[in-house]
Amino acid sequence: EAGVTQSPTHLIKTRGQQVTLRCSPISGHTSVYWYQQALGLGLQFLLWYDEGEERNRGNFPPRFSGRQFPNYSSELNVNALELEDSALYLCASSLVPGGGTEAFFGQGTRLTVV
Amino acid sequence: GENVEQHPSTLSVQEGDSAVIKCTYSDSASNYFPWYKQELGKRPQLIIDIRSNVGEKKDQRIAVTLNKTAKHFSLHITETQPEDSAVYFCAASKEVGGADGLTFGKGTHLIIQP
């Protein structure tokens, strides 16, 4: 069975540009979480989607947004990129929504903003 | 929302010695506490978890303890080996239906000295 997959694995963008990251959860998982992992800052919670709805968002500005599709895959969009957006963006999925169970992570997308 | 503090940020131990990583959480309603291991360049993976109805759980060389009254939990690794070198994250969440998903600590870089 395929795990959580993310694309692209790496990308470089210029400050002010927009970027879209993609995530496919494990088959049967309805919850998708997005995390930002910047150097030294651990795993910062960005967004949580379940059954196509945004359930919660972390302490990030509105230029971070996303959506979840009917097949439960998800996109993370970041507008007006800033240098400090450079980080590893990790997607995770879980069988049960909201917590209380294992979250399976993708390999991440390494975003570099120059 | 939940806040998870983790320390130390870096821990260096001799191979064969024990390592202990400690976390505290703020929300008394949290009742699920997983630990993730992230090797260099890889995705975080669950190594052990504990629920609030249990005070201790062991899996071979790894154990986790939970003190609900004090709102802290710890990861214990005995007989450390080189392959234990990684970043370890603790997390906390409510059970099914919680609105916050997993809240992670900032991570502990465990270094096993030969």
Note if the bond before A61 is cis, omega within 30 degrees: no
In the block, tokens 């909201």 appear at: A98
Q: What is the mean pLDDT of residues A39-60?
A: 88
Is residue B88 a contact partner of residue B108, using CB atoms and an 8 Å limit? yes
Q: Please state the separation of Cα A110 from the chain's center in Å.
A: 11
Give the tokens for residue B47.
Answer: 């190594």
Closest Cβ opposite residue B99 in set A41, A98, A101: A98
Cis peptide before B82 (omega within 30 of 0): no
Average predicted confidence (pLDDT) for chain B: 92
In a mutational test of the A interface, the residue from B102, B103, B104, B109 whose CB has the highest number of chain A CBs within 10 Å is B102
Which residue of chain A comes nearest to B107, CA vs CA? A42
> In the structure, what pLDDT confidence band is assigned to residue B96 with cuts at 50, 70 and 90?
low
The pair of structure tokens assigned to B58 is: 């062991």
What is the per-residue pLDDT across B36-84, written as a single tens digit (0 to 9) for each? 999 998 999 999 999 888 899 999 999 999 999 999 999 999 999 999 9
Instruction: Please judge whether A99 and B96 are an interchain contact, meaning their C-beta atoms are less than 8 angstroms apart.
Output: yes
B36 CA to chain A: closest CA distance, Å? Answer: 10
pLDDT of residue B97: 52
CA–CA dist B106, B93 (Å, integer): 15
- Residues with Cβ within 8 Å of A106's Cβ and at least 6 positions away in sequence, in order, are A3, A4, A5, A6, A23, A90, A91, A92, B43
Q: Which residues fall within 8 angstroms of residue B82, CB to CB, at 6 or more apart?
A: B15, B112, B114
Considering only residues B71 and A95, tell me which one the structure prediction assigns the higher pLDDT: B71
